[in-house]
Amino acid sequence: METIWFMIVAVMVAAYVVLDGFDLGAGVIYLTAAKTANERRAILRAIGPVWDGNEVWLLAAGGTLYFAFPLLYASSFSGFYLPLMMVLWLLMLRGIGIELRTHMSNPVWRGFFETIFCVSSALLTIFFGAALGNVIRGVPLGSDGYFFEPLWTNFRVVANAGILDWYTVLTGVVALVTLTAHGSLYVAVKTEGNLQRRARSTARFAWPLQLVLTLLSLAATIYVRPTVLDNYQHYAVGYLIPVLVFASLGVMFWANRKDEDKIGFLASAVYIVVMLVGAAFALYPIVLPASTDPALNLTIYNTAAGQHGLGVGLAWWSLGFVLALAYFTHLFRMFRGKVRMEGEGY
């Protein structure tokens, strides 16, 4: 049962990164790809019907974590208190930037809120990537299962490092480039004309960076935490993960050259999912490694809720997941195709 819930949490996180990832990526390129007011409206119309709904997966992942692994939830949310507050502020600023931009006729204020939307989107991608880097690298867990990290210390990967060091900054940059390419491909799928061409150009520019950063991050991960290879050595099926990672990058390269935006976007989604699956596979059954003493690692076994609760919760979660899946399928079908500029709103 603990393994099932570990997989469920991983699915929820992957769903959030793929779905809200293209919203964030669209926000990152908002000021550079869109040169006119109509082009910026087109980007907002491309994500407008879905951006706030996509963020529900983040809340669902947090709620699932709280239900299935309460000790992990308590430990991580207290230890990462400062970056979590920063993420919440960035999420609020991003929503404020989208909403208030549409109510401002003054070009100064409109430009201000557009900048807020773009900058907060970029910072969110970096913070989410750094958060994943912290989980892989490990945190200074105490014997009581709790920890505290400053925002940074000396940027070296040591037992009592801060939230930001060279490794977590690298994972943050990987997330920024990956989601920028993901969002660019989505904008290319949903738009036409000059905006579509600029979005394609951004995706093409990001691809070699994404390839190099993928290789660097894999090498850095093995250097920082050599034990990530243990599960791959015990279960040969794990070697399919790097094969799929580089296969998806290959499809993205082909799609970028052929202007097959939809195929490139789907390949980008596969890349994101497989990278997250690779991290989860490498850590299992650990959910939060200790950087000080491996005996203090938080695992799916010492952080899980009771068996009865997990069993009952699985039935209710399955019902909720089916309803959510049906809703999102209906939503994306309703707003499929290119965006149109007629009418009011975004």
Q: Above 90 in pLDDT, residue 161?
A: no
82, pLDDT greater than 90:
no
Please tell me whether the overall predicted TM-score, pTM, comes out greater than 0.85 for this model: yes
**Interval 303-322: pLDDT, tens:** 999 999 999 999 999 999 99
List pLDDT tens digits, range 119-133. Answer: 999 999 999 999 999
| Mean of pLDDT over the chain | 93
Q: What are phi and psi of 286, to 5 degrees?
A: -80, 135
Spatial CA neighbour of 157 closest among 209, 71, 226: 226
CA pair distance 90, 84, nearest whole angstrom: 10
Residues linked to residue 286 through DSSP beta bridges, in sequence order: 299
Q: How far is CA 161 from the centre of its chain?
A: 23
Rounded distance, CA 321 to CA 246, Å? 30
- Is residue 149 scored above 90 in pLDDT? no
Q: Residue 233: is its pLDDT beyond 70? A: yes
Identify the residue whose tokens are 């399955």.
318
Flag whether pLDDT at 47 surpasses 70: yes
Q: Is the Cβ–Cβ distance between 24 and 272 less than 8 Å? A: no
